Structure 1
């Protein structure tokens, strides 16, 4: 199958896009009504699949998963728009559920695996690393794939977008916590080429956003 060039721009009701890496295939789709992104990661060696954020539209997500099964679903944080389809997806696939330790109680579907900062999250032979980013919610996690064949890739949920960090609703303490975590655990550790896959909207790179970190801190959001 020939895939269209990956841009990271998807729309609700439109087709998914697939980012082909040497060891991993990353398929991105948008679901309504809040324009959430969901990502299916597929290990190219084993065919095992992992879903990041069963946000909504279970039929759309299960179509993206296809007939090869789903091993696990990671929920990036406890906000309802990121897990509305989780019960249906788990019922249809038997996938195990993973979420950050401090957000799991806020997710209506039981969490099988509580994830802490630095924990590995595996899909087939591919290993990602969880990063706990506190501020948007207490237990939000990002997943970092440090591709041995190329540059890193990071799935940030609602903690980092093009143009800023996630919403902290005017709470200065939460904003500082989130920006500090995003800086120290993502920007300070990963290269400018790192591809960022957010929970809503278009993709970006750390290099695109890095020059604006001081501006974000000064404006307070």
Structure 2
């Protein structure tokens, strides 16, 4: 079946099958968070992005092969409610942005900076530090050599705009600048965007609206 990226809490995962990587997207409650399980097709190693909630759902998705690592995109509580239980069950290494780790109540094994590479099997993910939604939010970029890039953006980029900056003009300016310079300026329109909540999008679908976002201030 064709991947749509449309999932709902309590429903099945949607699987995006790439040449070297399988991406399973699932929604967990109560805030309709997205969690993403990445599996290297060559080695079978797995990585989870955001153990947001519903540990039972996530562990069922992970399955008997377990996970080697789990990345938390940022410090907000709705993105790590299941982290402790998932780590206890799997022994996974934990990753988080250097400037958000102190706000995550599960120890971070690896502090992540802009440009750092996180590996899942033979697949490499490049971290981008995006400041504004939180001080240490990170996005993960998979540059698929067989197709177009894929960006896991946490709560920094969604269909229709950047993440919430709570009407703080400095935070908004910072987030928009980082999203523009580190995502839109470096990646092509075909880049698939996997956000922390809701439906997926592409950079090409969002790029024409950047001036509108800047004008409205959110």
Same fold (TM over 0.5): yes
**Alignment partners' CA distance in 2, 1:69 and 1:37:** 19
Question: Which residue matches 1:166?
Answer: 163
Question: Which residue matches 1:199?
Answer: 196
Aligned to 1:142, the other structure's residue is in SS state: strand
**Pair 1:40-2:37 in alignment:** yes
Question: Which residue matches 1:131?
Answer: 128
**Displacement of 1:132 after TM fit?**
0.1
Q: What is the aligned counterpart of 2:118 among 118, 121, 127?
A: 121
Question: Which residue matches 1:79?
Answer: 76
Consecutive unaligned residues of structure 1, counting only runs of 5 or more, are: none
**Pair 1:24-2:21 in alignment:** yes
Post-superposition Cα deviations, 1:93-131, rounded to whole Å, max 9, x if no partner, equal: 000000000000000000000000000010000001000
Post-superposition Cα deviations, 1:10-61, rounded to whole Å, max 9, x if no partner, equal: 0001110000000000000000000000000000000000000000000000
The alignment's TM-score, normalised by the length of structure 1, stands at 0.98
Aligned to 1:180, the other structure's residue is in SS state: helix
**Displacement of 1:5 after TM fit?**
1.6
Post-superposition Cα deviations, 1:126-158, rounded to whole Å, max 9, x if no partner, equal: 001000000000000000000011000000000
Post-superposition Cα deviations, 1:147-194, rounded to whole Å, max 9, x if no partner, equal: 011000000000000000000000000000000000000000000000
**Pair 1:156-2:156 in alignment:** no
**Alignment partners' CA distance in 1, 2:42 and 2:182:** 29
**Alignment partners' CA distance in 2, 1:12 and 1:220:** 31
Question: Which residue matches 1:188?
Answer: 185
Across the two proteins, how many residue pairs are aligned to each other? 218
**Alignment partners' CA distance in 2, 1:9 and 1:69:** 25
**Alignment partners' CA distance in 1, 2:8 and 2:35:** 11
Question: Which residue matches 1:145?
Answer: 142
**Alignment partners' CA distance in 1, 2:66 and 2:30:** 26
Deviating beyond 4 angstroms after TM superposition, the runs of 4 or more aligned structure 1 residues are: none
